[in-house]
Amino acid sequence: MTGKKVLLMPRSKKILETVGENIKLARLRRKLSSEQVSERAGISRPTLVSIEKGSAGVAIGYYLQVMAVLGLEQDFLWLAKDDELGRKLQDSSLTSKARAPKLKREK
């Protein structure tokens, strides 16, 4: 882990803290020690502690490794899955004709 300090908006920081707390609770429910999880994930214990605190300085790949150890890697696929705003923006840029063309009738 590098010593870079990542600045987040308070709302984003709270989300990361919640994710970290959820990861910690998942570990505790499985009765796994931090040493076991960090060893299986191939990371150090301080990195796992940082993940469980929701640190923004930890690479997202490490979050995924820990989730995989806990059997939660499929939950990672839910990130940004339903992009409602993106769909609305895309739909608003679609052009449509005001009216369908008239059919020519044969006489």
**Sequence ranges of the domains in the chain:** 10-92
Over residues 26-54, the pLDDT tens digits come to: 999 999 999 999 999 999 999 999 999 99
Over residues 1-22, the pLDDT tens digits come to: 456 677 889 999 999 999 999 9
Q: Answer whether 58's CB lies under 8 Å from 47's CB.
A: yes
User: Which DSSP helix (H) or strand (E) runs through 15?
Assistant: helix 10-29
- The CATH number of 10-92 is 1.10.260.40
Q: Answer whether 54's CB lies under 8 Å from 23's CB.
A: no
Q: What is the pTM of this model?
A: 0.75
Q: Answer whether 56's CB lies under 8 Å from 16's CB.
A: yes
Q: End-to-end CA distance of the chain, in Å?
A: 79
